Structures are given as C-alpha cells and as structure tokens.
C-alpha cells in the first residue's frame, strides 16, 4: 500500500471512505503502537489503544480538520494509553518505558507534593513549548520522542538515525537546559 499524504487521508475521512482508516494505520500505526506499548507495557493494550484512536478519528473527522493528522492521532492514542496505564497502575500491574522517562524528567519538574511548587499547568506547558521552540530540531525531536511518545532510548536512536550514546547525551543536555530554563522562569 502506498503511503498517502495527510491531506489525502483527511480527504478520505471527509468522504467517509473505509480506506481512510487503513491509510492512517499504515502511515502512523507503528509509531502509535510503539508509543502506546511503552506507556501501557503491553503490545495487546497498545493495539487496542490504536484501534480506539482510529475509531475516534473516524468519529471526529469531519467536523474536525486537524492540521497534522499524525499529531492528532498520536495525541488521541497517547491519551488512551495513559488512561489504560492508570487503570493498570490501579491493578498493580507494571508498565513499560513511561516510569523511566518520567523519572528522568523528575529533576526538571517540581514535585506536586510541595505547596510552593504548585503552578498553573497551562503556563508550564507554554514555558516548556517556548523552551523546545528554541532548541535545535534534532534535540527537540529526540526530546519529544522520549518524553512525549515515551519511546525507549534505543527506539529514539533508531527513529533519528543516531547512536544510543548520542541520544543519551542529547537528552541529558536538553533536560539540564530545561531545568535551567524552568528555574529562570520561576517554576523550580
């Protein structure tokens, strides 16, 4: 199957063509499953999240017309995976890369247990977005793949065509810069 452009896939959704789901899954399915599997700790749960995300995509296009189909699908799939992960955590089952990724970021983001560390979530998101906009494209992509998509360091390296040690060093430097940026902005 040929990989279609996002605009072509969205046009298929607008026409209510079943091919839209296949095209979206063909283009973004593997990335969504990797991300969801890292969050849920289960490939089976990840596939379920992808299927649910594709159904939500079908239900929401139209009327929604996302600028980035991949970003839209990844966001929906990530939310479903996080919900699944929460459910698993309640059931005392383990998970994948998510805890490791969140532990790595712990030094950059204040603990919610500290009353003085309470802050407006939207303002923090804006500060992090502004920080990422200032970073080189390679560092920004690695950071988002690791901490937003929760891919393993090896998966980030494979996705970026870089060595594991380069990814680890880039992530370390980016986390340190983020911590410094958040301290300057008054979040830490």
**Chain segment 123-165, per-residue pLDDT in tens:** 777 788 888 889 999 999 899 888 888 788 898 898 889 999 9
User: What CATH number should be reported for the domain holding residue 14?
Assistant: 1.10.1740
Q: What is the pLDDT of residue 175?
A: 92
Identify which has the larger pLDDT, 76 or 85.
Answer: 76
Domain boundary among 65, 90, 115: 90
Q: Which of 24-38, 58-72, 107-121, 164-178 has the lowest average pLDDT? A: 107-121
The CA–CA distances, whole Å, from 179 to 4, 133, 147, 169, 175 equal 39, 15, 14, 15, 6
Domain shared by 79 and 111, yes or no? no
Q: Domain limits at 12? A: 6-90
| Residue 1, in any domain of the structure | no
Q: What is the pLDDT of residue 102?
A: 62
Q: Look over the chain and give the mean of its residue pLDDT values, rounded to a whole number.
A: 82
168 pLDDT band (50/70/90 cuts)? very high
Q: What is the pLDDT of residue 2?
A: 83
Domain shared by 41 and 68, yes or no? yes
Judge whether 14 and 62 are in contact, CB under 8 Å: yes
Nearest to 137 by CA among 100, 185, 174, 176: 174
Domain boundary among 58, 74, 90: 90
Number of domains, the chain = 2
The pTM for the full model equals: 0.58
Strand intervals (E) in 41-154 = none
Is it the case that residue 51 has pLDDT exceeding 70?
A: yes
User: What CATH number should be reported for the domain holding residue 163?
Assistant: 1.10.10.10
Domain shared by 73 and 106, yes or no? no
């Amino acid at each position: 199957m040929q990989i279609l452009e996002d605009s072509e896939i969205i046009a298929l959704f607008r026409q209510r063509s079943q091919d839209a789901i296949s095209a979206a899954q063909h283009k973004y399915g593997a990335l969504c499953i990797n991300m969801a599997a890292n969050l849920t700790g289960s490939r089976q749960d990840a596939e379920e999240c992808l299927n649910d995300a594709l159904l939500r995509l079908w239900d929401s296009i139209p009327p929604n017309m996302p600028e980035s189909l991949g970003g839209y699908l990844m966001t929906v799939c990530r939310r479903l995976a996080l919900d699944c992960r929460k459910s698993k955590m309640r059931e005392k089952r383990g998970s994948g890369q998510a805890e490791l990724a969140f532990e790595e970021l712990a030094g950059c983001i204040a603990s919610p247990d500290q009353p003085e560390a309470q802050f407006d979530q939207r303002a923090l998101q804006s500060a992090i977005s502004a920080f990422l906009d200032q970073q080189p494209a390679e560092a920004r992509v690695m950071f988002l793949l690791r901490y937003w998509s929760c891919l393993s360091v090896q998966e980030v390296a494979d996705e970026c065509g870089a060595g594991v040690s380069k990814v680890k060093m880039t992530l370390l430097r980016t986390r340190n810069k983020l911590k410094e940026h958040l301290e300057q902005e008054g979040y830490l």
